[in-house]
Amino acid sequence: MNLRPFLAAALIAFSASSQAVTLKWGAQNDILTLDLHSQNHATTNGILQHTYEGLVRYTRDFAVEPCLAASWQLISPTQYRFNLRKNVKFHDGTPFTADDVVFSYHRILQPQGTMQIYVAGVKEVRKIDDYTVDLILGGPSPILLRNLVDFRIMSRAWAVKNKSENVQNYVAKEESYASRNTNGTGPYLIKLWEPDKRLVMQANPNWWGKLDGNVTEVIYTPIKADATRVAALLSGDVDIVTDLPTQDVTRLRNDPKLKVLDGHEVRTIFIGLDQHNSELLYSNVKGKNPFKDIRVRKALNLAVDREAIKRVTMRGLSIPAAIMVAPGVHGHSPDIDKVSPVDAEGARKLLAEAGYPNGFEFGLDCPNNRYVNDEEICQALVGMWARVGLKAKLNAQPMATFIQKIQKFDHAAYMLGWGVATFDGLYTLQSLVRTKTTGADGSFNLGRISDAKLDALIDALKTETDVKKRDGILREVLVATRDNYYYVPLHHQLRPWAMKKNVSTVHKADDRPESRFARID
Amino acid sequence: MAADAGWLRRALGHDLAWSFRHSPVTILAAFLTLVCVGAALFAPWIAPHNPFDSATLNLNDGFTPPAWTEKGSAKYLLGTDDQGRDVLSTIMYGSRISLGIGLAAVLFSLILGVTLGLLSGYLGGRLDAIIMRVADVQLSFPAILIALLVDGVARVALPRETHDDIAIPVLIFSIGVAGWVQYARTVRGSTLVEKNKEYVQAARVIGRHPTAIMLRHVLPNVTGPVLVIATIHIATAIITEATLSFLGVGVPPTQPSLGTLVRIGNDFLISGEWWITVFPGAALVVLVLSVNLLGDWLRDALNPKLR
């Protein structure tokens, strides 16, 4: 028997694998689906951006740069012309053209998906020729390009061939070819996805762009348990870990084999309050809603010791918040984000003035697997409010159950975190403060705050193109939201990532590592 | 019958006391059990803090190490957890839950197992065959698996909002159901022996109802082995509850048992706050070990063949 061909093959395989640079990445959650237009979920978007691209993308510093569009110009305030990049091929070899952009626009708008906000304000996508599309807007949109980053393009031919023209209906547990397979234009191909086990990506040899790093293979492993995830990094099973448990950061910092990349996330954690029902749910106050009284809302704010949460629960990994947007979001300014010191006496006095000298009871809904230490923070809040006489009854549940409950307005108070994908304060204000409609306006205004004056200002923000004037309005709305105590902002999250010494990458404030920036030396 | 009751009284009054006095390990175990049970029973009066009164908690005291370490505070002997709760007090309150669930589950198993065993042994026939085959099938699964199964089904079947309120009854039921087989088989064996004895036949001849015969005549004579099983089972039940709670399917963190406390503390082990998990773990070991030693001793003392 001649072994030579086998040996040669083995040698080739060996040399090929020795050239592959593999980044093993451990994180808390798995993605929900591979269908890029189905779920607006940070982890899912973070993985899919490796394989599907949009017309524009962010640079390392979150400036907008050309991606599948090579350039663009404003024809009128409501018409953008995008010149598409030529000679770009999808992973299956079909060429990328204007048809794919038009197709993807109609696909992302389908109601069973949750990604429509990324084409908000776009009325129509018009094909001019194979490599030119026009976006027709409903009105001027100062933040259109930032919105479009997460509007990613799927091949029309591939979707038609595999009967995946329709977005997967995730809530109805539907599966489609596109929810299990990918075909993008991006720097990495998704080779394998075993849900809750691992996801393997390989560098796309035919990508139009050039990797900033040298990683040719990425193995993404979701590891739910905090201690296990950290142990995997300490033992060298993974190269980089995101979603670090706060209590372990100090230890990882002191480990000579590891380094910690610090950075904040553009996400603000807050408590929302029902200000719509005439009788508060889950409360012993009957016949009225105490949260409609600004004095009660102010008392809730004054009773919270944000510094203690930062020091003990978050181990320093938070920035106490007074306004609803984090540093790094356009509109944030340190002078309006100053937290007033905790004042239990003042809170008690305000409650007495409002007619609740002995406080009252209310339900507090919390997720227990979404934000950093979410349940622990809620437990701490229960204690802080108890000291001024307010009895919060905590109901901590997994995100999937929690989010369904609060989206039905079946709550008195709830914890939520709001990340800003567009890096502009309008995204937060439009979703959380604008009076609720069926569309993007007030989409997560679950306390159903309704303030006509702020509504008018928020609507003005959408179309105001004079930067100075717009910044003034943005500041005014942020301050008014704070001074009306519509929410109880807690903190802005800090999200360090830990990795082996030989790994380098760029910390991203949207908490989505991009492997094209990663290097292993 | 009178002769048999006399045997029990003699054993308790004489042999048991003798063997207890001559076994230092048993005395120590009994002492530790008493301490644990006492601490659990009187927790609301003797615990230094009430960990479940949120208004008294101070987050700023969170993660205080035990009193004898450098940064410790005399206020918190065994340190505090992530919410500033006193670890010693949470252990006391936690043992209450652990012991309560353990005892209730054993009681449930015992009633279920003894009833089925009596029926099976006394009535025989098809009922006996069915009960014993079910027992055989259940014996081929580990108890923890059955408890997990029952617990899982209950969680799906019942609405989510009620989970926290009914967590403890569900746990008692699932651990109880997982443990009845031993009782049933032991009682059935003894019943088979007893039912052919003359006093039972005599009772039958004078026309007593079968229920009365089972309860008044057979039952008192099969209680010895049941007591032994029950004592050892308490330790097993506490461990099963702790395991379920450690896995996160047991009691909710708002009413933590020892197992829940170990699970919560586990998150802080790598970061060096060892006391949050080690002390509840140690309390669990001491409690289970001493109950188990007592059970072993009782088994040996009551077994005439070992004498």
Interchain contact, B83 vs A386, CB within 8 Å: no
For residues A114 and A215, the model is more confident at A215
**Residue type for B35, please?**
V
- pLDDT band with cut points at 50, 70 and 90 for residue B161: low
Q: Above 60 in pLDDT, residue B1? A: no
Q: What integer pLDDT is reported at residue B301 of this predicted model?
A: 82
Q: What integer pLDDT is reported at residue A167 of this predicted model?
A: 93
Q: Above 60 in pLDDT, residue A1? A: no
Question: Tell me: the pLDDT tens digits for B207-257?
Answer: 899 899 888 888 888 888 898 899 889 999 999 999 988 887 778 777 788
Write out chain A residues lying below 8 Å of B57, CB-based: 383, 386
Q: What integer pLDDT is reported at residue B167 of this predicted model?
A: 84
Mean pLDDT of chain B: 87
Q: Is the ipTM of this structure higher than 0.90?
A: no
For chain B, say whether A397 makes contact (Cβ under 8 Å): yes
Q: Above 60 in pLDDT, residue B4? A: no
For chain A, say whether B266 makes contact (Cβ under 8 Å): yes
Question: Tell me: the pLDDT tens digits for A226-245?
Answer: 888 999 999 999 999 998 99
Write out chain B residues lying below 8 Å of A309, CB-based: 59
| Listed residue (B264, B227, B283) closest to B63, CA to CA | B264
Q: Which residues contact A491 (CB under 8 A, 6 or more apart)?
A: A268, A269, A306, A309, A310, A314, A318, A319, A320, A321
Nearest CA in chain A to B80: A312
For residues A403 and A176, the model is more confident at A176
Q: What integer pLDDT is reported at residue A9 of this predicted model?
A: 52
Q: What integer pLDDT is reported at residue A14 of this predicted model?
A: 46
Write out chain B residues lying below 8 Å of A341, CB-based: none
Torsion of CA A492, A496, A497, A501, to 10 degrees: 160
Between CA A75 and CA B63 the distance in angstroms is 61
Q: Above 70 in pLDDT, residue B14? A: no
Write out chain B residues lying below 8 Å of A228, CB-based: none
For chain A, say whether B86 makes contact (Cβ under 8 Å): no
Torsion of CA A367, A368, A371, A375, to 10 degrees: 100
Q: Above 50 in pLDDT, residue A15? A: no
Interchain contact, B271 vs A248, CB within 8 Å: yes
For chain A, say whether B159 makes contact (Cβ under 8 Å): no
- pLDDT band with cut points at 50, 70 and 90 for residue A13: very low
Taking CA atoms, B214 is separated from A121, A463, B116, B120, in Å, by 81, 86, 12, 11
Interval A95-101 mean pLDDT: 96
Write out chain B residues lying below 8 Å of A251, CB-based: 270-272
Substitution target from A260, A312, A393, A402 for chain B, most B beta carbons within 10 A: A312
CB A188 within 8 A of CB A204: yes
Question: Tell me: the pLDDT tens digits for A16-62?
Answer: 444 789 999 999 888 989 999 998 888 899 999 999 999 999 998 88
For chain A, say whether B84 makes contact (Cβ under 8 Å): yes
Give the number of other Cβ atoms within 10 Å of residue A164's Cβ.
20
- Residue by residue, DSSP assigns A199-211 as EEEEE-TT-SS--
Q: What integer pLDDT is reported at residue A6 of this predicted model?
A: 55
For chain B, say whether A308 makes contact (Cβ under 8 Å): yes
Interchain contact, B60 vs A394, CB within 8 Å: no
Q: What integer pLDDT is reported at residue B6 of this predicted model?
A: 64
Q: What integer pLDDT is reported at residue A173 of this predicted model?
A: 80
Question: Tell me: the pLDDT tens digits for A407-449?
Answer: 889 999 999 999 888 899 999 999 999 998 877 788 889 999 9
Give the number of other Cβ atoms within 10 Å of residue A206's Cβ.
11
**Residue type for A49, please?**
Q
The pTM score is 0.80
**Residue type for A207, please?**
W
Eight-class DSSP state of B77: T
CB A350 within 8 A of CB A485: no
Q: What integer pLDDT is reported at residue A11 of this predicted model?
A: 47
Mean pLDDT of chain A: 91
Structure tokens belonging to residue A239: 């190269």
Q: Which helix (H) or strand (E) holds A6?
A: helix A4-19
For chain B, say whether A228 makes contact (Cβ under 8 Å): no
Q: Which helix (H) or strand (E) holds A219?
A: strand A217-222
Structure tokens belonging to residue A21: 């640079």
Interval A140-153 mean pLDDT: 91
- pLDDT band with cut points at 50, 70 and 90 for residue A68: very high
How distant is the Cα of B56 from the closest Cα of chain A, in angstroms? 7
Which three-class secondary structure state does DSSP give residue A363? strand
For chain B, say whether A251 makes contact (Cβ under 8 Å): yes
Q: Above 80 in pLDDT, residue A246? A: yes
- Residue by residue, DSSP assigns B11-71 as IIIIIIHHHHHT-HHHHHHHHHHHHHHHHHHTHHHHSSS-TT-GGG--GGGTTPPPTTSTT
For chain A, say whether B196 makes contact (Cβ under 8 Å): no
Question: Tell me: the pLDDT tens digits for A270-327?
Answer: 999 999 999 999 999 999 999 999 999 999 999 999 999 999 999 999 999 999 999 9
Substitution target from B53, B59, B64, B263 for chain A, most A beta carbons within 10 A: B59
Interval B88-108 mean pLDDT: 94
Interchain contact, A383 vs B83, CB within 8 Å: yes
CB A273 within 8 A of CB B23: no
Least confident of A84-98, A349-363, B131-145, B245-259: B245-259
How distant is the Cα of B283 from the closest Cα of chain A, in angstroms? 23
Structure tokens belonging to residue A206: 């035919």
Contact pairs from chain A to chain B, CB under 8 Å: 61
Substitution target from A223, A379, A403, A408 for chain B, most B beta carbons within 10 A: A379
Question: Tell me: the pLDDT tens digits for A369-407?
Answer: 888 999 999 999 999 999 999 999 998 888 878 888 898
Question: Tell me: the pLDDT tens digits for B71-89?
Answer: 888 889 999 998 889 999 9
Helical packing angle, B180-194 and B163-178, nearest 10°: 40
Q: Above 80 in pLDDT, residue B160? A: no
- Percent of chain B scoring above 70 in pLDDT: 93
Question: Tell me: the pLDDT tens digits for B24-51?
Answer: 999 999 999 999 999 999 999 999 988 8
| Listed residue (A394, A396, A399, A387) closest to A282, CA to CA | A394
